[in-house]
Structure 1
Amino acid sequence: MGNLDTRFQSQGAAIPGPGLPGMATGRFGVERAVSVRDIEAAFDLRARVFRGGQRDDRDRFDDACEHYVIRGQNSGAVVGCFRVLHCADGRAVRHSYSAQSYDLRAFYPLEQPLLELGRFCVDPAHADADVMRLAWAEVTRLVDDSGAAFLFGCTSFRGNDPSAFADSFALLHARHRAPAAWRIGHGEAEVLAFDTLPPMQDGARAMRGLPSLLRSYLALGGWVSDHAVIDRDLGTMHVFTGLEIAAIPPARQRLLRAVAAKV
């Protein structure tokens, strides 16, 4: 999550190319990017997905993050990427990407680690369900290895026109607001408060408007802020998205770990 691209949507061998040992399916593999070549490939993909190839997408958070690439097993080409910021405890979220736009003081008392997922994107030419499945398997491993109590980040909706996603935002506000204990405050960014929107008019349209990755988080018990941030730089609107690991239903936790074990 950081920013989760809305266009996200495979059983195994080792993947070619440099990097740390990772996980693989029949067609794709995921690994931590450690070579200059792989990190540059991730940056290039981000520029194409988030900036239309017109501008570089690097920012000051990249040096503090681990970067992961999803690679085609046959071609070796990077088809997806994401970055992870490890926060040692709740106060460390002050240094996260999300803290630029949201007041995250609700997390400060937390003593366990948190993970911020960001710049999650995939090449539109490789919009394969196995890419998402493999990414979730790697994130599950990261959660287990780090002992993280929370995943968090920002989920992006394309464009700066709130009317395009009014029903989706109304649905999120009605059914998926953060619990009172984790209520996310407004930062200094331009915001759209969901309680100013009319009630949802079309449930089917509301669901269609939700990014597929966000639907995955919500299915695991995730929640969102009560407002969206209007990001003029990226040309998006994004909502803070949180997932408390302990709140994931046990059956879904077992399923995630089973997927991770298979790849």
Structure 2
Amino acid sequence: MQLLTNPGEASTSVSKLTVSLASTPEEVREVQRLRYKVFIETMGLSALANADGLDSDEFDSYCDHLIVRDTNTLRVVGTYRVMSPHAARSMGRYYSEQEFDLGRLDNLRSSIAEAGRACIDPEYRSGSVIMLLWAGLAAFMRRERCDYLMGCASVSLADGGHNAAALYHGLDQNNFAPAEYRVTPHVPFPVHERETGHVAQMPPLLKGYLRSGAWVCGDPAWDPDFHSADFFLLLPLSKLDQRYARHYLKETRTT
């Protein structure tokens, strides 16, 4: 199912980009190959390397996969994995529950979509791909009648965690969720034990969430596999910044 199209500028040429949901096993493997390239090869996570060259887990078969494709080259150049409330019930949990206790969000489970595994081919990081992915997310949430979007934004710990700590301590109080939406990491990353004088460098995904109006719902979790601090974010659509609401929640054209 193609959701929409948009002319996008890649680093090498002007390309026509489309966003859709993966509809075949081969398209899912294309997504998994891109994730492997970005998450494992580029980040040098040799412990997660495998002969298949795929980043995959048990959640993939329960989730939908947004894909942005360059129609000139047919390459999949961006992806986002999304989980509906129905899929989470079938699976038995959301992906985030591996890292966080989401008990305080139990009353929202029937209206939460989870997004994760966002990645973009390094040659296509001009902004067009992430805009299409967010528009695809909005279309998915309308289809599933979801009022909340949740997900994790990962911050590399390659510098010893100083940037993650600086980001956390640099957040405005308005960036944090009210107490009734707070979650608890199973293995917290010790942001309070790191120096706070570091100049924070905010990853684009975290910046996009915060600009849209998402809340940070507590201390980050420590993900030793991906060597990252994971910030849990919750975006009520009622809180979505109006500039983004006008862009992403308008009716998308389907073909």
TM-score by length of 1: 0.80
Q: Within 5 Å, which residues of 2 pair with 1:221-236? A: 221-236=213-228
- Distance in 2 between the 1:262 and 1:39 partners? 21
The match for 1:192 is 189
Tell me by how many angstroms 1:186 deviates: 2.7
1:245 equivalent among 219, 227, 237: 237
> SS of the counterpart of 2:32?
helix
Tell me the residue number matched to 1:218: 210
What's the counterpart of residue 25 of structure 1?
6
- The aligned residue for residue 151 of structure 1 is 149
What are the ranges of 5 or more consecutive residues in structure 1 without an aligned counterpart? 1-19
Mean CA deviation greater in 42-51 or 247-256: 247-256
The CA deviation at 1:129 is 0.9
Unaligned runs of 5+ in 2: 8-15, 43-48
Query: What is the correspondence of 1:50-129 to structure 2 with a 5 Å cutoff?
Result: 50-52=39-41, 54-55=49-50, 56-88=54-86, 95-110=93-108, 112-129=110-127
Deviation, structure 1 residue 261 = 5.7
Q: Which residue of structure 2 lines up, in the alignment, with residue 16 of structure 1?
A: none
Q: How many residues align?
A: 237
| One-letter amino acid of the counterpart of residue 69, structure 2 | R
Q: Residues 58 and 262 (structure 1 numbering): CA distance in 2 closer, same or farther, change over 3 Å?
A: closer
Give the letter for the 2:3 counterpart. Answer: G
Secondary structure (helix, strand or coil) at the match of 1:25 reads strand
Match of residue 179 from structure 2: 180
Give the match's secondary structure for 2:20.
strand
Kindly provide the CA deviation profile for residues 155-179 of structure 1, in whole angstroms up to 9, marking residues without a partner as x.
Answer: 1112352113332121137552221
RMSD: 2.7
The CA deviation string for residues 147-204 of structure 1, in whole angstroms up to 9 with x for no partner, is: 21110111111235211333212113755222111011132x3x124445555x46xx
Identity score, percent? 25
Pair 1:80–1:192, CA change in 2 (3 A)? same
Tell me if the contact between 2:154 and 2:229 (Cα under 8 Å) persists in the aligned partners. Answer: yes
Distance 1:47 1:197 in 2: 31
Cα distance in structure 2, aligned partners of 1:261 and 1:210: 33
2:21 and 2:5 mapped to 1: Cα distance? 12
For the residue of structure 1 that corresponds to 2:170, the secondary structure is helix
Q: 1:173 to 1:252 in 2, by over 3 A?
A: closer
Distance 1:167 1:260, change over 3 A: farther
What residue identity is the alignment partner of 1:85?
M
- The answer to whether the 8 Å contact 2:85/2:109 transfers is no
Contact 1:112 1:147 in 2 (8 A): no
